[in-house]
Amino acid sequence: MTKDLFKYFGLAIILYLFQFLVLSNINLMGYANPYVYVLILLLLPYNTPRWLLLLIGFVVGFIADYFSNSLGLHTSAMLVLAYLRPLILKRWSFRSIQDERGAPEMTNTSMEWFLVYVIVAVFIHHAFIFFLEAFTLRHFALTLLRVLLSTVLSSFFIFIIEVIRTRNKRVA
Amino acid sequence: MNNIYEILKRLYSHLLFLVLLGISLSLYFNTTYYQKAQVGSVTLSITGFWHQQASRFTDLFSLRRTNLLLTLENTRLRNEIESYRVKLQAYADASRQITDTVGVFSYVPAKVIDNSINSRNNYIILDAGTRKGVYKGMGVICSNGVVGIVANANQSYSSVISLLNTDIKVSAMHKKSGSFGAISWDGRNYRRVILDEIPLHVNVAVGDTIITSGFSTIFPKGIPIGRVTDFFNKDGSFMEITVELFADFKSIDYVYLVNSRAHDEVNQIQSVKQ
């Protein structure tokens, strides 16, 4: 339990550093803003109660907001994702998920399943962020393009992080 | 009680979501200017409502004083306007070498102490009497329309025949065409009066403004009365026009008494005759 707590804290710190020291300063192609800190929420155990998911989402989003100087934007997006996570897991439940104590990770599910899970979750999160940021449907196509590009990039980075992380685990 | 507990137990995570989302969204919309402006236009009706409710209470404390100040200022301004009108008139008349003092008015402010709208013959009591120069037959107006005519005045009070009185008729004019008629009240709706004697050929439209004609010396010309809401052919040659009053007689508070110099001169002639 304590080990898990440290694991998530460590992951959070690494993700935040990567996010705000590297990714947020790149602003790839002027359109895409990948947000990889979402992964923290995605990796929580299956049996995490909804209220805890919401609180963690709130805190994680709030810290992200604090660094990106957009108080409330990431917080609300993370809340939406935290609220929908149980539904996503239910809809795309992996066949071998029998053990309620586990967490949705690449090692204990298939790579395809994990990718779909990440892409769907990231898309929801990014769509919320970009449309809330634009706060208009006037440039719908442009905003949607930003959402899609960012989703692809974020999913790609998350996949890489996850590969590195689980490889380390295997070594350890 | 148990039921409520059960429902809360079932819904608390959804409620938590809504509460947290509300907090974060309000945080968000309170920190960036662009979104603040966008949300502002949507939520203004909601926040505006609360501000209005709050100010309704705070305003009450200064209402009396504010009203008094505004009335005094309005009186001063109206007197000023009239003095300019006299000067203008003088210039206009100089070319014709005629001096005409009809239409020279000054105003006396007064407060309504008693008012009714639900009888067929309504009267208004004002806190100004002969000591302030009020006399019988004076016109009474408020900031947005005609109120009535003074029926009686003692030293410090006067009673006014309200426009909402089936006994009174006021000369009025259709502003666009300049044709005139008489305003009277049918005793039904306190927001509506009837304008008679407008000939059928006059082009009247709903929304047209009705003003005082200025043919009597009671009211100056051009005081707004109301707006046309309906009209129909009454007896083949005249129209009956329904006019919605600008003045809300339910909430009349401060009024002006119209002091007409013509009235003084007519009085002088009458006293000479006697």
CB–CB contact B20 A132 (8 Å): no
In whole angstroms, give the CA distance from residue B72 to residue A54.
Answer: 61
Option in B24, B34, B38 nearest A76 (CB): B24
Whether residues B16 and A70 touch (CB distance < 8 A) is answered with no
Mean pLDDT taken over chain B: 79
Whether pLDDT at B39 is above 80: no
* Amino acid of residue A37: Y
Longest alpha-carbon distance in chain B: 95
Considering only the beta carbons, identify the residue of A51, A73, A75 that sits closest to B13: A51
CB contact under 8 A, A136 and B38: yes
* The token pair that represents B95 in the structure block: 């070319």
How much is the pLDDT for A38?
92
The token duo for B75 is 């009186």
Q: Do A79 and B21 touch (CB under 8 A)?
A: yes
Residue A30 is given by DSSP the state: G
- Give B51→chain A minimum CA distance, Å: 25
Neighbour count for residue B63 (Cβ, 10 Å): 10
Instruction: Supply the pLDDT for residue B137.
Output: 85
**Are B31 and A62 within 8 A, CB to CB?**
no
Mean residue pLDDT of chain A comes to 82
Question: pLDDT category, B79, cuts 50, 70, 90?
Answer: confident
Of the spans A93-97, A136-140, B164-168, which averages the highest pLDDT?
B164-168
In A, minimum Cα distance to B24 occurs at A72
Mutate to test the interface with A, among B12, B14, B20 (most CBs of A within 10 A): B20
pLDDT computed for residue B99 by the predictor? 43
pLDDT score at B100: 46
- Burial class of B249 by CB neighbour count within 10 A (0 to 12, 13 to 18, 19+): buried
Tokens 């005609």 sit on residue: B146
Q: Which of A42, A45, A40 lies closest to A15, judged by CA?
A: A40
Write A88-96 long-range contacts (CB < 8 A, 24+).
Answer: A88/A117, A88/A120, A88/A121, A88/A124, A89/A46, A89/A117, A92/A116, A92/A117, A92/A120
Q: What are B51-66's pLDDT values in tens digits?
A: 556 556 666 767 777 7
- Number of C-beta neighbours around residue B176 at 10 A: 14
The DSSP string of B158-207 is EEEEEEEETT--EEEEETTT--EEEEE--SS-TTEEEEEEEETTS---TT
Nearest by CB to A75, which of B24, B30, B35? B24
- The reported pLDDT for the residue numbered B101 is 45
Probe site for chain A from B13, B15, B25 (most A CB atoms < 10 A):
B13
Q: Is A131 on the interface with B (CB under 8 A)?
A: no
**What's residue A76's pLDDT?**
93
Considering only A89-93, A100-104, A128-132, B124-128, which range has the smallest mean pLDDT? A100-104
**CB of A54 closer than 8 Å to CB of B17:** yes
Q: Is the pLDDT at B130 greater than 50, yes or no?
A: yes
Q: Is the pLDDT of residue A122 over 90?
A: yes
Domain-wise residue ranges, chain A: 2-171
Residue B12 is nearest to which of A51, A75, A79, comparing CB atoms?
A51
In one-letter notation, the amino acid at residue A31 is Y
| A34 shares contact with chain B (CB less than 8 Å) | no
Q: How far is B37 from chain A (nearest CA, A)?
A: 11
| CB pair distance less than 8 Å for B28 and A49 | no
Contact B20 A136 (CB under 8 A): no
Pick the CATH number of A2-171 from 1.10.1760, 3.90.550, 2.60.40, 1.10.3470: 1.10.1760
Contact predicate B108/B236, CB 8 Å: no
**Helices and strands (H, E) in chain A, number of each type:** 7, 0
Question: What span, in angstroms and rounded, lies between the C-alpha atoms of A141 and A130?
Answer: 12
B35, A54: Cβ pair inside 8 Å? no
Write down the pLDDT at residue A84.
92
Which residue of chain B has the CA closest to A78? B21
Q: How far apart are CA B212 and CA B247, in angstroms?
A: 14
Written as six digits, the tokens of B259 are 């002091």
B43 pLDDT above the threshold of 60: no
- Quick check: B103 pLDDT over 90? no
pLDDT of residue A123: 95
Three-state secondary-structure class, residue B109: strand
- d(CA B129, CA B186) in angstroms, rounded, equals 29
Q: What is the DSSP letter of A28?
A: G
Across the interface, do A135 and B25 touch by the CB < 8 Å criterion?
A: no
With tokens 């399943």, the residue in question is: A113
Query: Are the CB atoms for A144 and A134 separated by under 8 Å?
Result: no
What is the DSSP track for B224-264?
EEEEEEEEEE-SSSEEEEEEEESS-GGG--EEEEEEEHHHH
Q: Which of A73, A81, A124, A132 to mutate to test the interface with B (most CBs of B within 10 A)?
A: A73
> Is B245 within 8 Å of B145 (Cβ atoms)?
yes
pLDDT digits over A141-154, tens only? 888 888 999 999 99
**pTM above the 0.80 mark?**
no
A56 interfaces chain B, CB cutoff of 8 Å = no
Q: What is the CA radius of gyration of chain A?
A: 16
Radius of gyration over every alpha carbon of chain B, rounded to an integer in angstroms = 27
Q: Dump pLDDT digits (tens) for B132-181.
A: 888 888 899 988 889 998 888 888 888 888 888 877 888 899 988 888 89
Topology of domain B102-273 in CATH is Thrombin, subunit H (2.40.10)
Closest CA relative to residue A23, chosen from A11, A40, A35, A38? A35
Is A48 in CB contact (< 8 Å) with chain B?
Answer: no
